[in-house]
Structure 1
Amino acid sequence: MTVTIYDVAREAGVSMATVSRVVNNNPNVKPQTRKKVYEAIDRLGYRPNAVARGLASKKTTTVGVVIPDISNSNFAEVARGIEDIANMYHYNIILCSADKRKDKEIRVINTLLEKQVDGLLFMGGAVTDEHKQAFKTANVPVVLCATTDEQNEIPSVDIDHEAAAYDAVKTLIGHGHRDIAMISGTLQDPSVGYARYQGYKRALQEAGIPEREDFVRVGNYRYESGIEAMGHFLEPDKLPSAVFAATDEMAIGAIHAIQDKGLSVPGDISVISVDNSRMAEMVRPTLSAVAQPMYDIGAVSMRLLTKLMKKEPVEQSKVILPHDVVKRNSAGAAQA
Structure 2
Amino acid sequence: MTVTIYDVAREAGVSMATVSRVVNNNPNVKPQTRKKVFEAIERLGYRPNAVARGLASKKTTTVGVVIPDISNSIFAEVARGIEDIANMYHYNIILCNADKKKEKEIRVINTLLEKQVDGLLFMGGVVTQDHIQAFNTSSVPIVLCGTKEEGNSFPSVDIDHEIAAFDAVNVLISQGHRNIGMISGTLEDPANGYSRYQGYKRALEEAGIPIRDNYVRVGNYRYESGIEATKYFLSLDPKPTAIFSATDEMAIGAIHTIQDHGLKVPDDVSVISVDNIRMASMVRPMLTTVAQPMYDIGAVSMRLLTKLMNKETIDNNQVILPHEVINRNSVAHV
Shorter-chain TM band: over 0.9
Deviations 1:146-175 (A, max 9, x none): 101111110000000000000000001111
The aligned residue for residue 30 of structure 1 is 30
Q: CA deviation at 1:191?
A: 2.6
Tell me, what secondary structure is at the counterpart of 1:95? strand
The aligned residue for residue 96 of structure 1 is 96
The aligned residue for residue 303 of structure 1 is 303
Q: CA deviation at 1:302?
A: 0.4
The aligned residue for residue 167 of structure 1 is 167
Counterpart code for 1:329: N
What fraction of aligned residue pairs are identical, expressed as a percent? 79
Tell me, what secondary structure is at the counterpart of 1:296? helix
Please tell me whether the aligned partners of residues 215 and 238 of structure 1 are also in contact (alpha carbons under 8 angstroms).
no
Question: What is the CA–CA distance in structure 1 between the aligned matches of 2:141 and 2:189, rounded to whole Å?
Answer: 23
Q: CA deviation at 1:32?
A: 2.0
Instruction: Pick closer, same or farther for the CA change 1:299–1:166 going to 2, 3 Å.
Output: same
Question: What is the CA–CA distance in structure 1 between the aligned matches of 2:194 and 2:238, rounded to whole Å?
Answer: 23
The aligned residue for residue 157 of structure 1 is 157
Question: What is the CA–CA distance in structure 2 between the aligned matches of 1:197 and 1:237, rounded to whole Å?
Answer: 23
Tell me, what secondary structure is at the counterpart of 2:17? helix
The aligned residue for residue 182 of structure 1 is 182
Q: CA deviation at 1:110?
A: 0.8
Is 1:110 the counterpart of 2:107? The answer is no
The aligned residue for residue 224 of structure 2 is 224
Deviations 1:71-94 (A, max 9, x none): 000100000000000001110001
Deviations 1:246-276 (A, max 9, x none): 0001101111111111111000000000000
Deviations 1:70-127 (A, max 9, x none): 0000100000000000001110001011011111101111111111111100000011
Question: What is the CA–CA distance in structure 2 between the aligned matches of 1:87 and 1:14, rounded to whole Å?
Answer: 30
Question: What is the CA–CA distance in structure 2 between the aligned matches of 1:235 and 1:192, rounded to whole Å?
Answer: 26
Q: CA deviation at 1:311?
A: 0.8
Is 1:72 the counterpart of 2:72? The answer is yes
Q: CA deviation at 1:63?
A: 0.5
Q: CA deviation at 1:29?
A: 1.8
Query: Unmatched 5+ residue regions in structure 1?
Result: none
Q: CA deviation at 1:26?
A: 1.5
Question: What is the CA–CA distance in structure 1 between the aligned matches of 2:31 and 2:203, rounded to whole Å?
Answer: 63
Question: What is the CA–CA distance in structure 2 between the aligned matches of 1:15 and 1:5, rounded to whole Å?
Answer: 9
Tell me, what secondary structure is at the counterpart of 1:143? strand
1:189-268 paired onto structure 2 within 5 Å: 189-268=189-268
The aligned residue for residue 59 of structure 1 is 59
Question: What is the CA–CA distance in structure 2 between the aligned matches of 1:294 and 1:191, rounded to whole Å?
Answer: 14
Please tell me whether the aligned partners of residues 181 and 240 of structure 1 are also in contact (alpha carbons under 8 angstroms).
yes
TM-score, normalised to structure 2's length? 0.99
Deviations 1:294-334 (A, max 9, x none): 00100000000001111111111011000000011111111
Question: What is the CA–CA distance in structure 2 between the aligned matches of 1:225 and 1:198, rounded to whole Å?
Answer: 20
The aligned residue for residue 289 of structure 2 is 289
Query: Unmatched 5+ residue regions in structure 2?
Result: none
Counterpart code for 1:326: I
Deviations 1:9-39 (A, max 9, x none): 1111211111111111122222222122111
Question: What is the CA–CA distance in structure 1 between the aligned matches of 2:238 and 2:158, rounded to whole Å?
Answer: 34
Q: CA deviation at 1:236?
A: 3.9
